[in-house]
A and B are shown apart, each in its own frame.
Chain A
Amino acid sequence: MTGRRYVVLAVLAGAVPLAVLGVFFVVPVLGMVGLGFFPDGRLDLTGAAETLVRPRVLGALWFTLWSSVAATALTLLLGLPTAHLLYRVQLPGRHLLRGLVTMPFVLPTVVVGVAFRTLLAPSGPLGFLGLDGTPVAIVAALVFFNISVVVRTVGPWWEGLDRRREEAAAALGATPVQVLRTVTLPALRPAITGAASVVFLFSATAFGVVLTLGGVRYSTVETEIYLLTTQFLDLPAAAALSILQVVVVVGLLVLAGRTRPSEDGGTDRVDRVDRRTAVRRLRRGDLPAGVVTVLVLALVCTPVLSLVVRSLRVDDRWSLRNYAALGGTGGSDALLVPVTTALANSLRVAVDATVLALVLGLVVSVLVTRPARSPGRRRLLGLFDGVFMLPLGVSAVTVGFGFLVTLDQPPVDFRGSPWLVPVAQAMVALPLVVRTVTPALRGIDPRQREAAAALGAGPLRVLTSVELPVAWRPVLAATGFAFAVSLGEFGATSFLARPDRPTLPVVVFELIGRPGGESFGMALAASVVLAAITATVMVAVERLRVGTVGAF
């Protein structure tokens, strides 16, 4: 095969995810920004420029930056020790705990808002902390949502690290801290960077939770865009903020890209190992990690438990009535379809979205990890890689309203095209897949591939015997994640889901906005079911073995 054909194929394969991204993300965003910058068909930036110097906007920008940085740092600080304990140590019940840590990720934000406020309100069990309506509550909620991103992207990666290198360092006299600093952390760096960028983007664009917990006092760029678009209809200002958001996101991605090791860095090479050599017994040195893990479990379990408890209380008595009601449409037929049907919809859509995100994500990951022979090509691949992070960093409100003003003609008409829901969810899941799989593929020594090829292995054989053994665990983690993202996605879905075919988070939102204890109880019960199913699916996916590959 000639070099030219190689390039043509690369371009063709890369064009598919790019086209999807272009239609479902770039076009809508440009449409909204265009409306703001060309208010009467002519370019007029005065409104936009005035916005950027408003004290309120500057305050929102500052709050966004520091709360997201704080949330990211805290999530890493808590998540890494937890990942260590849950993935590297033979802790009894660790699979269960991994599932538990995942639950917050898919809980509808409206419900989490209520759960946090129930705990933190002055009358709540944690009211004495005085955290209600403070930035601390917001940051805590962001950590609550994102902890699983760190645990579940770094964990599987950590599990696959060869312990012998650390043992060698220790045998040569390195203290545990030195081993951690000079051997373990550098080896984990690609996974940590990937997880950190995702957490930062999720935090910077978090919206429901900031709105609920921040009350009217704290606003972020995202909540400002929401208010400007949905309440004030001030499109120039919203456009200016959307652009600001993109600039910040791109700036961060460039920064994160800098810290990624170069092609020949060598520090992140992964040696394929047997699980048995990677996971070891619990020992006294794990105590600090254990303390952190207990903290994390407390942070995760307290709001979840309070939800479970409230969902089981009916008229001050214990009852399963809220759960029994999920088979129906609520008091006086509040819903178009029973909650159980919505759950079935959610699962169906999630399967589609997961397949799509996985296929597109793998194409992107495989492409960006091919050796680039010239600096220009390497930069191009870096750009290609980064572009797929954008959907996480740009306002869902802008994208959603952009759908309205741009995708309103066949063949892509957002109205009544049921396949738009999985596609939109896949765009949100795609960055997670890429960030989980790419570091694994990048960690493979190219010489291994070359050696396999030289020994006569065909490309498929190279893929299955060199790349898959290293990548299968992150691929499974990515699958679970894509599934969870899809199950929990609300912003885009509420825009696109057909009314007679809602997903579970959409139904929860409908229920919680209605008066009457019955609707509220059903909303809580439905959220608990959603979280439990997601955790179960993620644990099950993770425990799959990929044929013989896992058992070498």
Chain B
Amino acid sequence: MPSKTWIVAAALVPPLLVACSAGGGSSPSDNDSSTVTLVTHDSWSMPKKVMAQFERESGYELEVLRSGDAGQVTNKLVLTAENPIGDAVYGIDNTFASRAMDAGVLADHEPTDLPDSASAYVLPDDQSGSTLTPVDWSDVCVNVDLEWFDAEGIEPPRTLDDLTDPTYKDLFVTPGASTSSPGFAFLLATIGRYGEDGWLAYWERLVANGARVVSGWSDAYEVDFTAAGGEGDRPIVLSYASSPPFTIPEGKQRPTTAALLDTCFRQVEYAGVLAGSDNPQGAAELVDFMTSRTFQDALAENMYVFPVDDEATLPPLWKRWAEPAPAPIDLPAADVAQNRDDWLRAWSDVTAR
């Protein structure tokens, strides 16, 4: 007669399931027009008071959905184009922009009060000229540990070519292009500099000169790099133009690292209204808020990027030590979209050798 055991078990299940869902907390107000849901990447970070200001001015409640890196955000939006997971998106960059636009993920949005300085970042191939609004940019550059080079009595490298010089053998570490978005930006820098025909040969030289390819930015910067708290053995690392101010030792005035401004690729991040959103009005207001002074002022301090509004406030240390590239390496977004997969496959083959 073991069957009654089962009755007990079966009777226990439903109430416990209910208890669980109750324990999880109340259901949020989803899908109603009083909430704006922003889909963004994992690096999103904004102080509560900035978000509160948007909520106060617009009357909407802001909900933020962090959804992986820029690539994952884009792919998730492409997959859910029929029934978008939010109302607005922030964080699609110039390397993924075409994929999002081609998939019809974005609705038209004419930004109001776009700062003059932002027009330089509007995508040239944005046909209607009005789906993606530029919000910020950052320069992905090779960084060097000045203290290390000083101690060794070697002149630090300056250019991409220098990295293949035997003087700098076994000194460079970079995150991989297939697993990291700054890594991919660096790949684009090399393609922009050496062209379709020359970049593979450059990478062959780079790998032959002992470049180490690791999976993520934090791996390269926190483990392999000699500066920045790491105890690694590589004094040359791929990071950002805005990284040096973070390496000013306590009580000192100068950073111990510098960015090589001749090696930079400029990543521009965009915001947009999602097609098929439940709250297009709220989404439009949110995108406009992102180019407003309040939001632009908060960008550098919180997300370590440069605001598109060149009159926005930068942290004092940035003004001095986070110098952007005067002429970053450029590559048309359409080319990137078209060749991304082929480039990545070819790159994987070279670096896996």
Chain B residues within an 8 Å CB radius of A9 = 3, 6-7, 10
Given contacts A510-B42, A512-B218, 17 further A-B pairs with CB under 8 A are A9-B6, A117-B219, A117-B224, A121-B233, A123-B232, A216-B176, A231-B179, A232-B344, A334-B302, A355-B19, A366-B6, A404-B85, A419-B21, A419-B23, A458-B1, A515-B221, A516-B246
B25, A233: Cβ atoms closer than 8 Å = no
Q: Is the CB of A453 within 8 A of B1?
A: yes
Q: Do B232 and A416 touch across chains, with their CB atoms under 8 A apart? A: no
B28 cross-chain contacts in A, Cβ below 8 A: 416, 418, 498
Smallest CB-CB separation from B251: which chain A residue? A315
Q: Which of A114, A217, A333, A460 contacts B219 (CB 8 A)?
A: A114
Cβ of A348 and Cβ of B213 under 8 Å apart? Answer: no
In the assembled complex, the Cα of A117 lies from the Cα of B212 at a distance in Å of: 13
User: Which A residues have a C-beta under 8 Å from some C-beta of B?
Assistant: 1, 5-6, 9-10, 12-13, 16, 35, 56, 110, 113-114, 117-118, 121-124, 211-212, 214-217, 227, 229-234, 315, 332-336, 348-349, 351-352, 355-356, 359-360, 362-363, 366-367, 370, 401, 404-405, 408-409, 413, 415-419, 421-423, 449, 453, 458-460, 462-463, 494, 498-499, 501, 509-510, 512-517, 520
For B21, give the chain A residue with the smallest CB separation.
A419
- Chain B residues closer than 8 Å to A118, beta-carbon distance: 223, 231
With A and B bound together, what is the CA distance between A312 and B137 in angstroms?
Answer: 35
18 A-B pairs with CB atoms under 8 Å apart are A10-B3, A16-B14, A56-B348, A118-B223, A121-B223, A123-B224, A216-B178, A216-B179, A217-B351, A232-B344, A332-B47, A333-B45, A415-B85, A418-B25, A463-B5, A499-B65, A499-B66, A516-B246
The answer to whether residues A367 and B23 also contact, given A117-B219, A334-B302, A404-B76 and a CB cut-off of 8 A, is: no
Beyond A13-B9, A463-B5, A498-B28, whether A233 also contacts B19 by CB under 8 A is: no
Q: Which one of B17, B24, B76, B344 contacts A231 once the chains associate, using CB atoms below 8 Å?
A: B344
**Closest chain A residue, CB of each to CB of B46:** A333
- Inside 8 A of A501's CB, which chain B residues have their CB? 25
Residue of B nearest to A115 (CB): B223
**A10 and B6 contacting across the interface, CB-CB below 8 Å:** yes
Write the B1-34 contact mask toward A (1 if CB under 8 angstroms, else 0): 1111111111011101101110111111010000
Nearest-neighbour CB distance to chain B for A526, whole angstroms, equals 15
Chain A residues positioned under 8 Å from B221 (CB to CB): 515
B332 at the interface (CB under 8 A from A): no
- A216 with B246: CB separation less than 8 A: no
**Closest B residue, CB atoms, query A217:** B352
Which B residues are in CB contact (< 8 Å) with A498?
Answer: 28
A123-B232, A230-B72, A332-B47 are contacts. A211–B215 as well, Cβ < 8 Å?
yes
Cβ–Cβ contact A359 & B12, under 8 A: yes
B5, B66, B85, B233: which contacts A460 (Cβ < 8 A)? Answer: B5
Interface pair A117/B2, CB less than 8 Å apart? no
B9's partner among A114, A234, A348, A363 (CB-CB below 8 A) is A363
Interface size class of B (residues with CB under 8 A): 35 or more
Contact of B27 among A362, A408, A418, A510 (CB under 8 A): A418
Complex: A214 Cα to B351 Cα, angstroms: 13
A-side contacts of B85, CB under 8 Å: 404, 408, 415
Sort A-B residue pairs by CB-CB distance and give the 3 closest, nearest first.
A123-B233, A459-B4, A419-B24
The answer on a CB contact under 8 Å between A121 and B232 is: yes
Q: Is residue B301 contacting chain A, with contact meaning CB distance below 8 A?
A: yes
Known: A114-B219, A453-B1, A458-B4. A231 touches B178 (CB 8 A): yes
Distance to closest chain A CB from B143 (angstroms): 11
Q: Closest residue to B43 on the A side, CB-wise?
A: A513
Q: Which residues of A contact B304 (CB under 8 A)?
A: 514-515
**A234 to chain B: closest residue by CB:** B341
CA distance A227 to B233 in the complex (A): 29
Closest to A459 in B: B4
Most buried by B among A10, A214, A231: A231
Instruction: Tell whether A356 pairs with B71 under 8 Å between CB atoms, given A117-B223, A211-B179, A401-B76.
Output: no
Query: At the interface, yes or no: B333 with Cβ under 8 Å from chain A?
Result: no
Known contacts A6-B3, A459-B4, A349 near B24 by CB under 8 Å: yes
A520 to B7, CA, bound (A): 51
Chain B residue at minimal CB-CB distance from A127: B233
Q: Quick check: B13 and A359 within 8 Å, CB to CB?
A: yes
Given A405-B79, A408-B83: A363 and B1 interface contact (C-beta under 8 Å): no
B228 within 8 A of partner (CB)? yes
- Nearest-neighbour CB distance to chain A for B182, whole angstroms, equals 11
Residues of chain B lying within 8 A (CB to CB) of residue A416:
27-28, 30, 63
Q: How far is the CA of A363 from the CA of B42 in the complex (A)?
A: 38
Using CB atoms, name the residue of chain B closest to A124.
B231
- CB-based contact A114/B218 at 8 Å: yes
* Contact of A1 with B1 in the complex, beta carbons under 8 Å: yes
What residues of A have a CB within 8 angstroms of the CB of B9 in the complex? 13, 359, 362-363, 366
Instruction: Give the nearest-CB partner of A6 in chain B.
Output: B3
Q: Which residues of A contact B312 (CB under 8 A)?
A: none
Q: Is the CB of B176 within 8 A of A515?
A: no
In the complex, the chain A residue whose C-beta lies closest to that of B13 is A16
Which residue of the partner chain, among A5, A232, A362, contacts B3 with CB atoms under 8 Å?
A5
Chain A residues with CB under 8 A of B1:
1, 453, 458-459, 462
| Chain A residues within an 8 Å CB radius of B229 | 517, 520
Question: Are B344 and A422 touching (Cβ within 8 A)?
Answer: no
- Whether B58 sits at the interface, judged by CB under 8 Å, is no
- For A514, what are the chain B residues with a Cβ–Cβ distance below 8 Å? 43, 45, 304
Cβ–Cβ contact B13 & A212, under 8 A? no
Contacts of A124 in B (CB 8 A): 231
Known interface pairs A232-B341, A515-B246; A114-B222 also in contact (CB < 8 Å) = yes
* A462 to B2 Cα, complex, angstroms: 8
Q: Which single member of B5, B25, B26 contacts A366 (CB below 8 Å)?
A: B5
Residues of B with C-beta under 8 A to A417: 27
Residue of B nearest to A501 (CB): B25
Q: How far is A230 from B99 in the complex, measured between Cα atoms in Å?
A: 13
What's the least CB distance linking B15 to chain A, in Å?
10
Q: Which of B3, B47, B217, B341 contacts A513 (CB 8 A)?
A: B217
Most chain A CB inside 10 Å of its own CB: which residue of B30, B99, B222, B240:
B222
Q: Is B157 an interface residue (CB 8 A)?
A: no
**Given A227-B179, A231-B71, A517-B229: A459 touches B219 (CB 8 Å cut-off):** no
Min C-beta distance of B61 to chain A, whole Å: 11
Residues of A within 8 A of B224 (CB): 117, 121, 123
A370 touches B65 (CB 8 A): no
Cβ of A315: which chain B residues have Cβ within 8 Å of it?
Answer: 249-250
A-side contacts of B2, CB under 8 Å: 370, 449, 459, 462
